[in-house]
Amino acid sequence: MSTVLDLVRADLREFTLYDAADSDAAAVRLHANELPWRPEGDAGERGLNRYPEPRPAALRRRLAKRYGVEQTQLLLTRGSDDGIDLLVRTFCAAGQDRVLICTPCFGMYAGAARLQGAAIDEAPLDAGSDFDLDADTVGEALTDGTKLIFLCSPNNPTGTVFQRAQLARICVAAEGRALVVVDEAYIEFSSLPSITDMLAEFDNLVVLRTLSKAYGLAGIRLGAVVAGKSVIGVLNRILTPYPLPSACVDIAYQATGEDALGSLKEKWATIIAERRNLSVALEGIPAVVRTWPSEANFVLAKMNDARTAAALARRHGYLVRELHGPLSDCLRITVGTADENAGLLDILRGLRA
């Protein structure tokens, strides 16, 4: 019977990157070539002279609970970017295997594939239906070499959230052939729930979560790969031994407690309300051709001249993201505070229609 582990690169099936030193911080540590004294000003729990905990247990327990999975189903990484890279390196043999992406999407999937020497196939989202996902299109684009299918929901940069039924159909189509990686970087801003509960049904499903967006912790680089325990087991053997700095783990732990959740949820509600205000206001600006409905913390707007709009915003000290390729003449605008959004809108109102 084929298992999901048969998809792992053949040369990595028995491989462990490094046998990390025992991490007991209370013991007398004469085994890791650390300096025995703390650096000046270090008052943290675990001295910064010590290597961090290899796989931080308390944070892992907390996030597993938050995401509704077992601890054995979660691996903490340096942001989702690290998780994406790890997945590509683990499952795609260079010069042989392929990655399928649903464009327009987040650029790191193709970037990580290029770095690894994996070929990239595209199954474009349907521009005629606000970039919705069609499971049949994805199924038809699967080839024998496809090892990973990346789907981003809500999608960056379109803001589209994909229906569970479509994602489930793709998992079925890819069964025994490829992993389906659903990147939920923006799911906290969406009206649909996470699909981590579908992990119980599909052993080829992988979900990516991050603290960078909704938790406001982009600066500490903390993400999670959530998957079946055999996939997590393999990734765990291949991830570097001490990926997460102790200080970052401490901050993440503090910022993700139950006590912090109330005020976070208020912030998410504020962003969702401001997203609506921003979209409505943009639609009223002559230089804006249209916007798309968004389930993330940004709005995609088609402009009559995106380059000029972005340059004008830049001159006034505002950064917006100008897009290219199929979305040329579009801007991706992050939802800021009400004042920040109003400031940008004023600038865009000054553009010629």
Ligand X SMILES: *Cc1c(COP(=O)(O)O)cnc(C)c1O
Tell me which amino acid residue 98 is.
R
Residue nearest to ligand X as judged by C-beta position: 79
Sign of the four-CA dihedral 71, 74, 75, 77 = negative
DSSP state of 219: G
CB of 190 to ligand X, least distance (A): 13
CB of 209 to ligand X, least distance (A): 8
In the bound state with ligand X, the residue whose beta carbon lies nearer, of 76 and 344, is 76
CB of 221 to ligand X, least distance (A): 6
In the bound state with ligand X, the residue whose beta carbon lies nearer, of 5 and 115, is 115
Q: Locate 105 and state its tokens.
A: 């999407």
In the bound state with ligand X, the residue whose beta carbon lies nearer, of 46 and 85, is 85
In the bound state with ligand X, the residue whose beta carbon lies nearer, of 232 and 248, is 248
CB of 224 to ligand X, least distance (A): 9
Q: What are phi and psi of 150, to 5 degrees?
A: -100, 125
In the bound state with ligand X, the residue whose beta carbon lies nearer, of 101 and 281, is 101
Positions in the binding site for ligand X (CB under 6 A): 79-81, 106, 152, 156, 183, 185, 210, 212-213, 218, 223
Buried (b) or exposed (e) across 7-36, using 16+ Cβ within 10 A?
A: bbbeebeeeeeeeeeebeeeeebeeeeeee
CB of 154 to ligand X, least distance (A): 8
Q: Locate 71 and state its tokens.
A: 């601890």
In the bound state with ligand X, the residue whose beta carbon lies nearer, of 46 and 221, is 221
Measured between alpha carbons, how far is 340 from 94 in angstroms, rounded to an integer?
A: 45
Angle 338-349/306-315 helices, nearest 10 degrees?
A: 120
Sign of the four-CA dihedral 279, 280, 284, 289 = positive
For residue 239, the tally of other CB atoms under 10 A from its CB is 23
CB of 3 to ligand X, least distance (A): 27
Measured between alpha carbons, how far is 244 from 222 in angstroms, rounded to an integer?
A: 8
CB of 306 to ligand X, least distance (A): 19
SS3 call for 30: coil
Q: Locate 37 and state its tokens.
A: 């004294």
Strand duo 288-291 + 223-227: pairing: unpaired
CB of 125 to ligand X, least distance (A): 14
SS3 call for 98: strand
Nearest alpha carbon to residue 46 among 326, 245, 301 = 245
Measured between alpha carbons, how far is 104 from 287 in angstroms, rounded to an integer?
A: 23
In the bound state with ligand X, the residue whose beta carbon lies nearer, of 52 and 285, is 52
SS3 call for 146: strand
CB of 156 to ligand X, least distance (A): 4
In the bound state with ligand X, the residue whose beta carbon lies nearer, of 207 and 272, is 207
In the bound state with ligand X, the residue whose beta carbon lies nearer, of 218 and 311, is 218
